[in-house]
Structure 1
Amino acid sequence: MVRTVIFDMDGVIVDTEPVHRYAYYRHFEELGIEVPDAEYATFTGRSTKNVYQHLKDKHGLEPAVDELVLMKREFFNRAFDEKPDLELLDGVRTLIEDLHRHHLQLILASSASRSTIDRVMRRFALGSYFSHLVSGEDFPRSKPDPAIFEHAASLSEAPKSQCVVIEDSSNGVSAAKAAGIYCIGYNSEHSPLQDLSHADLVVAHFRELTAERIATLEMGPARTV
């Protein structure tokens, strides 16, 4: 029986991807580098720090990685605060409230920075539903490295075998499976070009999920990749 649900954030709870994309490409323009769409798609699920380490190595960028992250964050924070139509993804609040009402533990494990996670929690008043908020910036390697989900599972009140992850990205699904955790892939229209084939279950809308369905999933041994 499932007792803990570990949520990704971007593309699962809220679609901040357009804001991130705007901020990244404004910064890429300022840095004088070109990033094709196909390469940008591989950044989904990776921490900003990891992305900029990749770009620094590839393009020989002069500023330190931490400085590059702060530059991009300024673009993001300004756009996030000014974007009036930023909303939770359809059905996710209902699912979160249903899970909470049925006493399943909720943990957030996102590649986003702590400041971005806090902004989302405040804007949508979600903080009270989650027992822990885990940021990818606290780990040296990003998804698909499993460290963030291994840590999230260690915070669970239940053993890892009674945890599930909800993810929308190829990197996130790979990270969950590498951590040995059952993974629900959310086929989000906001996260294109993602391979969810390794997920244990794939849904196209949160109306397909309820606390009862998740709690009674036929887990078996979690598939690893």
Structure 2
Amino acid sequence: MIRTVIFDMDGVIIDTEPIHHNAFFSLFAELGIPVSDAEYATFLGKSTRNVFQLLKHKYQLAPAVETMVMRKRELFNATFDHDADLDLLPGVRALIEDLRRHDVQLVVASSASKATIARVFDRFGLADYFTHRISGEDFERSKPDPAIFLRAAELAHTPVGECIVIEDSANGVTAAKAAGIYCIGYASEHSAGQDLHHADRIIRHFDELTAPEIEAITPA
């Protein structure tokens, strides 16, 4: 029986990916580095700090990693705070509420910074639904490394065999499977180009899931 559902955030609970994309590419332009869309796609699911660690080494960038992280966050926040159309993804709040009515524990395990997770939770009133929020900035290695999901299960006091992960990125699915956790891949229009075939199940809308169905999942 599934006792804990671990949600990724960007692309699963909310589509802030276009805001992240614009912030990253604005900073790439400031830094004068030729990051392609194909290269950027490999970053999805990774923490901002890990992305800039990779780019600093690849392009021999002068600014400190932390300086680039803070500048990218500044660009992201400026858009996030003024985007009146930003909302949770269709159906996800109903699923979250259904799971909590059935006493399923919810955890967020996101590559986003703690500050960004807090921004989303505060704006959309999510704090009461989730027992833990875990940020990729606390881990040396990002997804596809499984550490963030193993930590989520540990904090939830739930064996990995009684957890599931909902992810929209190839890196996230790989991380979940490496942690030994059943993974539902969310193949929305926002995750185009992400290879989710390693997921145990793929959905295209959250109305495909119900709390009783999730509780009854028996990982192989």
Give the shorter-chain TM-score range. Answer: over 0.9
Question: Which one-letter code corresponds to 1:82 in the other structure?
Answer: H
**CA offsets per residue over residues 107-147 of structure 1, 9 Å max, x none?**
00000000000000001000110000000000000000000
1:77 maps to 77
CA contact (8 A) 2:169 2:195 kept: yes
1:144 maps to 144
Percent identity over the alignment is 63
Question: TM-score with structure 1 length normalisation?
Answer: 0.96
| Number of aligned positions between the proteins | 220
2:191 maps to 191
Give structure 1 regions of 4+ aligned residues with deviation exceeding 3 angstroms: none
1:30 maps to 30
Question: Which one-letter code corresponds to 2:184 in the other structure?
Answer: I
Question: TM-score with structure 2 length normalisation?
Answer: 0.98
**CA offsets per residue over residues 172-198 of structure 1, 9 Å max, x none?**
000000011111111021122111111
CA contact (8 A) 2:160 2:179 kept: no
- Matching of residues 46-195 of structure 1 within 5 Å: 46-195=46-195
TM-superposed CA distance for 1:47, in Å, is 0.3
Greater displacement, 135-144 / 187-196 = 187-196
Question: Which one-letter code corresponds to 2:15 in the other structure?
Answer: D
Question: Which one-letter code corresponds to 1:50 in the other structure?
Answer: N
**CA offsets per residue over residues 80-128 of structure 1, 9 Å max, x none?**
1011111100000000000011100000000000000000000100011
Q: Secondary structure at the match of 2:81?
A: helix
CA contact (8 A) 1:110 1:136 kept: yes
Alpha-carbon distance in structure 2 between the residues aligned to 1:69 and 1:218: 40
TM-superposed CA distance for 1:157, in Å, is 3.3
TM-superposed CA distance for 1:156, in Å, is 1.7
Alpha-carbon distance in structure 2 between the residues aligned to 1:191 and 1:77: 22
CA contact (8 A) 1:46 1:143 kept: yes
RMSD over aligned CA atoms reads 0.7
Structure 2 gaps, min length 5: none
Alpha-carbon distance in structure 2 between the residues aligned to 1:191 and 1:17: 9
Structure 1 gaps, min length 5: 221-225
Alpha-carbon distance in structure 2 between the residues aligned to 1:130 and 1:170: 24
Alpha-carbon distance in structure 2 between the residues aligned to 1:191 and 1:37: 14
